[in-house]
Amino acid sequence: MDLALPPKVTPRAFERLAEINASADAPKALRVAVEGGGCSGFQYVIKLDEPAADDLVLEGDGQKVVVDSVSLPFLANAVIDFSEELIGARFTIENPNATSSCGCGTSFSM
């Protein structure tokens, strides 16, 4: 039986969040959530936000990544990373629970 583990955040993602927060008046956490919608059924929402009481808080490099309790099962065993490519830089999610994903990188199905 596979035990569902919380998502992991790479050092590169924490480093990028630290860079973003270095120029902010009030540092915020990176919120990673899953909502219904998108071209594949579910979509990731990634934004700067304040932690809420029921959030899972992942900490590293003095930074926080938060996941709400509703999104947590969808992100079990996932890896939150930061990628810089020719087409742009963005936070990415490698999600083993997704059976397929869209080319946009933010939409997936289970």
Residue 1 resides in a domain: no
Q: Structural domain of residue 20, as residue ranges? A: 8-109
Task: Quote the number of domains for the chain.
Answer: 1
Residue 35 resides in a domain: yes
Residue 74 resides in a domain: yes
Taking the mean position of all CA atoms in its chain, how far away is CA 6? 11
User: For residues 80 and 12, is the Cβ–Cβ distance under 8 A?
Assistant: no
Q: What is the mean pLDDT of residues 85-97?
A: 88
Q: Give the CATH number, domain containing residue 76.
A: 2.60.300.12
Q: What is the pLDDT of residues 20-48, one digit of tens each?
A: 999 888 899 999 999 887 666 788 899 99
Q: What is the mean pLDDT of residues 71-89?
A: 92
